[in-house]
Chains A and B, each alone.
Chain A
């Protein structure tokens, strides 16, 4: 038993990694890190240069003096601040709504018996494979008939449908021990009480992972906002930044500054919830 404990804490595929293996791993990881970060350094370097010094060859990676004009212009002359607020507002609204909607549905599918349960489960499973990008045309018409085109609702409502979230939370709830809620029910607790007071607290890690996924999906979405929103003031970050490219004279400094700042909110979220991002729960999210 003690022998067992001594190695279970160590990484398994490398029970006794040799020096050469260790060295190879570090070389691979360092190289991957460079590849991961270089494009970010590019926009960092470009965002603090004046546009006319952008296109020199060889490039001056570290400009002699830092130029803040791109950032001033971004906040002074574009709707960048609005795009950021819109993205955060829409992202948070969708995340909160979806959490409660999906958790309720997952609870019903995991814990309750009802007519049509199998049918709904199969429909959800099938729906995971429906490419949402293909639904842009009918969604456009549905949202229009609701009179919601070019409004925040146009971005919020369709995003509330993503069967993957329900399936993932269901698998979390199914894995909970059944005895607890049985005894609660015998004590006269309603299903809502079982759901809100017992189930939700127990699946917190699953909820956090779900929230992260939902928010990231929203944060990175591009096609639907491009289609559904016309007013620049209601636009989200991704489409807003891409519109900066649409000028007769492209201002790379400005675009870089915008891209750089756009990475900040999601980076902060990542740092705050790092342990969830990097945990095994993320794989649970995919396997559903």
Chain B
């Protein structure tokens, strides 16, 4: 028979062993997590009080970067553009993906072929999508303008018009992203409990009522995760801006990430870039938190 203290000692030993084992499993992931994610976020804050550092040593400048951030009209514009872009791209891609998912769910033959074709653009780097769209949008030989000219007689200035440039960037992202969300929503629809639908059908509910009263409410958790995920990704929009418009025309497509990149490299102002980055981190975290709270309350 072991005494209580010995018992306690053994239990403690076991617990230490268990902790050691667990942390051995966690170690590689934790090291990378700290080094390349947690520390960079802290470093952002430190760098936001500095200037230089790439070729010359960094110098502390106090609140100078922050003062500049709050007075720079381009910062406001970049945040506005980023949010407006997301507000266009996310609902558009979700609605289109939902229609495609319902259509895929309806057809009997060729479902896999259609799935593959619709998913295909999602596989490609957004950079390639943007390069391809320089052809599609071209004034003279772009397919979209050939069609539009045949209908209206006038080509549309997709990338040169201030009011169209940002929606055009959103269009590229929707083209690329639709396949991903389609398959995601389709998986969601197909995993819904079938009995409910059968019961609803017996009750005489038509396809429209079944969609709005059953499918949509039941898919809420899927939408919740999708929406948060899409927000995080879309607020980082950079590649297609870099390829298609480089921020123009008249700064109409200046996004926050694009401005960070430009501060770091073109203007050699890493401190300012870090400040903008910190703003972006806060923006994304805040929007994610707001969405989480809203979805919780609605549930």
When distances are taken between beta carbons in the complex, the residues of chain B under 8 Å from A131 are 232, 235-236, 257, 280-281, 284
* Chain B residue total in the interface (Cβ 8 A): 106
Given A107-B25, A161-B36, A286-B225: A28 and B280 interface contact (C-beta under 8 Å): no
**Known contacts A29-B104, A123-B38: A270-B264 contact under CB 8 Å:** no
Q: Which of A11, A102, A141, A286 is the one whose CB lies under 8 Å from B226?
A: A286
CB-CB under 8 A for A133 and B236, given A8-B194, A163-B33: yes
CB-contact partner of A13 in B33, B35, B197, under 8 A: B197
- In angstroms, Cα B115 to Cα A48, docked, is 28
Chain A positions 213 through 244: 1 when the CB is less than 8 Å from some CB of chain B, otherwise 0: 00010011111000100000000011001100
Per DSSP, chain B at the interface is helix
- Chain A: residues with Cβ within 8 Å of the partner, total of 106
Question: Which one of A37, A58, A266 lies within 8 Å of B117 (CB-CB)?
Answer: A37
Of A129, A191, A256, A286, the residue contacting B284 (CB under 8 A) is A129
Using an 8 Å CB-CB cutoff, how does the interface string of B131-160 with A read, 1 for contact, 0 for none?
111011000110100100000000000000
Contact code string A44-86 (vs B, CB < 8 Å = 1, else 0): 0010000000111111000000000000000000000000000
Q: Does A197 contact B (CB under 8 A)?
A: no
Hey, which chain B residues are within 8 Å of A130, CB to CB?
37, 41, 281, 284-285
What are 6 A-B pairs at a CB distance below 8 A? A16-B201, A101-B28, A129-B285, A130-B284, A142-B35, A223-B239
Binding site for A on B (CB under 8 A): 18-19, 21-23, 25-26, 28-30, 32-33, 35-41, 43-44, 47, 53, 99-100, 102-108, 110, 112, 114-121, 123-129, 131-133, 135-136, 140-141, 143, 146, 175, 178-179, 183-184, 187-192, 194-195, 197-198, 201, 207, 210-211, 215, 221-222, 225-226, 228-229, 232, 235-236, 238-239, 242-243, 257, 260-261, 264-265, 270, 273-274, 277-278, 280-281, 284-285, 288
